[in-house]
Amino acid sequence: MIYINKIIPFFLLLLADCISIQCRCNTTKNSNLLQMQKTNLKSEFLVDTNRQTTLLQQEILNSKDPIYLIKDPSGKGYKSAVFIDVANKKVIKRIDISINNPYTSLNYKKATEYNYQGNPVYIVDNKPLKIVMPKLDLKHYMDSIGEWKITSLSTFQNIISFNNYAIEIFEQRAFSDNYNVACMSTINIYDIVGSLIAHISDIETNVLDIEITENGKYLSLNYGIDNEDYGHILKTGVFVYNTTNNRIIFDDYNGAPGMLCKHNLVIIGKILNHSSVGQEIYQLIEVHDFEKNLTYSRGFTRSELEKIIDISNEGYILKNPDGTVTTLYFEKQFKVEKF
């Protein structure tokens, strides 16, 4: 469930012109991943009598959330997810994401050093990006990127929890000297008991942010790479993926700066006028209801955005200065279009 404190930071994020993402991907179901996840967390913890481990075990079993994330020692993201029967305080399953990382055994020479997550770094002898990553669709990138010489490859991994789903994110990052210039990504989605429900591979971008609707059917992510010397190496945008039929159903890589999944809606925000004041429209908000195949759109002023306190299935809820509450209904006060 998304609480109100999730809504307000989202719009503050949009006001700060945060980057958003889009991608195209080829998808496959991978049943082998299910076999790799059969780990008995409880016995693993009970064997170790270390005080920190015992405290962690207690914290996990007392969790009020069905998915508990364990931090990566590097401080960058999380290394595993624990699925919990909250009512009975029992561990159902644990997923260690390093097991599933598809980018840790590449056909290149390993460097002597490892990256901050302990993953290998591979030496690439100045080969063009289009040779190193032949599956990369360069439409997302600046025009000359395919000829850039790649000097090394590395990998990043993380797992997040959203709407009672766990989402693994793996990135293969290509570097030209010290610049990260391109990425290929893989995503795995697990339900509340740790069962794999979707495996998305060969995503042709990085993943900056990712969310999933409450029904688990629509995965939304944003991407982009900015460089102080070269500008937008990877265009910013948003893509939405239907997890039930392996189809990309929304593809916008033209600079959409924000996205949010609320209920079973996917919401995209686009800044229209950075210098707007008063009643001038600042941001266009598009609400996509893929269950109804409808898109609702409306321009918002800065003051209207500041009044938003929640989003229902029917519209935006605003709190006025006098304390009264106003609902802007999708069907009445937004432009309605067939998707």
CB atoms near residue 202 (< 10 Å): 18
Is position 129 within any domain? yes
Q: Specify whether the CB–CB gap between 254 and 237 falls below 8 A.
A: yes
pLDDT of 257 reads 64
Average pLDDT of span 323-336:
97
Is position 172 within any domain? yes
Average pLDDT of span 96-102:
92
Find the helix or strand (DSSP H, E) in which 61 lies.
helix 51-61
Name the band, by pLDDT with cuts 50, 70 and 90, for residue 12. Answer: very low
pLDDT of 7 reads 43
* Better-scored residue on pLDDT, 62 or 167: 167
Is position 224 within any domain? no
- CA-to-CA distance for 216 and 227, rounded, in angstroms? 34
Average pLDDT of span 212-216:
96
pLDDT of 51 reads 59
pLDDT of 256 reads 60
Is position 78 within any domain? yes
Contacts of 224 (CB under 8 A, 6+ apart): 19, 20, 21, 205, 206, 208, 232, 234, 235, 236, 237
**One-letter identity of residue 303:** S
* Average pLDDT for the chain: 82
76: containing domain: 25-208
* Domain tally, the chain: 1
Is position 144 within any domain? yes
pLDDT of 247 reads 80
Q: Tell me: the pLDDT tens digits for 120-139?
A: 899 998 999 989 998 888 88
> Which range among 13-22, 80-89, 193-202, 212-221 shows the weakest confidence by mean pLDDT?
13-22
First-to-last alpha carbon distance for the chain, in angstroms, is 26
- CA-to-CA distance for 42 and 90, rounded, in angstroms? 8
Average pLDDT of span 231-244:
86
pLDDT of 50 reads 56
Is position 90 within any domain? yes
Q: State the burial class of residue 221 (Cβ atoms within 10 Å of its Cβ: 0-12, 13-18, 19+).
A: buried
Q: Specify whether the CB–CB gap between 249 and 240 falls below 8 A.
A: yes
Q: Specify whether the CB–CB gap between 188 and 198 falls below 8 A.
A: yes
pLDDT of 281 reads 86
Name the band, by pLDDT with cuts 50, 70 and 90, for residue 191. Answer: very high
* Better-scored residue on pLDDT, 230 or 46: 230
Q: What is the pTM of this model?
A: 0.80
Is position 332 within any domain? no
Name which of 210, 223, 299, 304 is nearest 261 in CA terms: 210
Q: Tell me: the pLDDT tens digits for 77-90?
A: 899 999 999 999 99
Is position 226 within any domain? no
